[in-house]
Amino acid sequence: MIAPAPDVARTGSPPGTILRRHALTTRLWHWINAIAFFILLGSGLGISNAHPRLYWGRYGANFDHAWAQLPRFPAWLTIPSSYNLAISRRWHLFFALVFAFGLAAFMIASVLNRHFRRLRLTRADVSPAHLAEDVRDHWNFRFHDADDPAAYNSLQKWSYILVLFVALPVMILTGLALSPGMDAAWPWLLDLFGGRQSARSVHFIAASLLGGFAVIHLVLVILAGAGNELRSMITGRWRVPE
């Protein structure tokens, strides 16, 4: 049985039911974004190796105080694998466009197709007691609500909201603030983050948090059943787990 949409198939989908879980735009964006993110992170770490010191404020160079001295990222983490700032930047700045315009298109599509409705917070999602229960459920590898298995759980909603509406836009805005041409065109970018070197620090911190998110995201996909989850993000079809 194929239920048309998660909202319609609200109550009591028995285990084994196949639901249409993800819209085509969501699936397309997910994979474009996954590739762009992966390349941005790898090439970003290559860029970081050129000057692995981070500063707060408008300026910052070798004689100034650095709040962080970063490690040298090894070849297996960077794009390209052998140090080459020019090529890292070519990858980074090309995929910055893919990433930024991809996110913008996905945002527009998700408002139009009401995908974001699934992220709407209910009273339960902001109640500490419920969130604590959700943490316990995750800890016990229970990810789905039996009454509405396709719904996003509270922790899932919160992490997707923080990633989509905070972390990813922050990557774009801080990335733009690193461009001297954009700083002339949109000086408010600098005011927003307190100077170019602060923007660079925030860019790095937010990239690290997103890297952490990506790892947890992949682990949870594996725990929730990689085959089923992967298929749902490719064909849209998701089987309600036992």
Partner 1 sequence: MILPRPSLHRRNLLAGGAGLLLAGCDKVIQQPAARRILFAGDDMHKGLQRALTDRGALAPEFRPDQMSPIFRANGTRDPGTPAYAAMVADGFASYRLAVGGLVDRPLSLRLADLAAMPSRSQITRHDCVEGWSAIGQWQGPMLGTVLKAAGLRRSARYVVFTCADLYNGQPYYESIDTIDAFHPQTILALKMNGRRLEVAHGAPVRLRVERQLGYKHAKYVTGITAVASLDGIGKGQGGYWEDNVDYDWYAGI
| Residue 181 binds which entry of ligand HEM, partner 1, none, CB below 5-8 Å type-dependent | partner 1
Do 51 and 193 meet the contact criterion of CB atoms below 8 Å apart?
no
By CB under 6 A, residue 102 contacts ligand HEM:
no
SS3 state at 238: strand
CB nearer to ligand HEM: pick between 149 and 175? 175
Q: Is 204 in the site for ligand HEM (CB under 6 A)?
A: yes
Per CB under 6 A, does 42 bind ligand HEM? no
Closer CB to ligand HEM, 35 or 224, in the complex: 35
CB of 158 to ligand HEM, least distance (A): 19
Q: For residue 61, give the DSSP letter.
A: -
The nearest distance, CB 238 to ligand HEM, in angstroms, is: 26
The contact set with partner 1 (CB under 8 A) reads 38-39, 42, 47-48, 50-51, 53, 55, 58-64, 76-81, 84-87, 89-91, 93-94, 97, 140-142, 178-187, 190, 196-197, 200, 218, 222-226, 241-242
- Work out the number of other CB atoms within 10 angstroms of the CB of residue 38: 13
Residue 41 sits in the site that holds ligand HEM (CB under 6 A) = yes
Is residue 37 involved in binding ligand HEM (CB under 6 A)? yes
Residues 6+ apart with CB under 8 A from 150: 6, 9, 13, 19, 21, 144, 238, 240
Q: Is 48 in the site for ligand HEM (CB under 6 A)?
A: yes
Spatial distance between the Cα atoms of 11 and 40, rounded to a whole number of angstroms: 41
54 SS3 class: strand
Convert 99-133 to b/e letters by CB count within 10 Å (16 or more is b).
bbebbeebbebbeeeebbebbeeeeebeeeeeeee
Cis preceding-peptide flag for 80 (omega within 30 of 0): yes
- Which residue in 203, 238, 239, 240 binds ligand HEM (CB under 6 A)? 203
Q: Of partner 1, ligand HEM, none, which one does residue 150 interact with (CB within 5 to 8 Å by kind)?
A: none
Please state the closest distance from residue 239 (CB atom) to partner 1, in A: 12
Residue 58's alpha-carbon distances to 50, 103, 197, 198, 203, in angstroms, are 19, 28, 5, 7, 14
Q: How far is CA 184 from the centre of its chain?
A: 28
- Between 18 and 171, CB nearer to ligand HEM: 171
Q: Closer CB to partner 1, residue 55 or residue 152?
A: 55
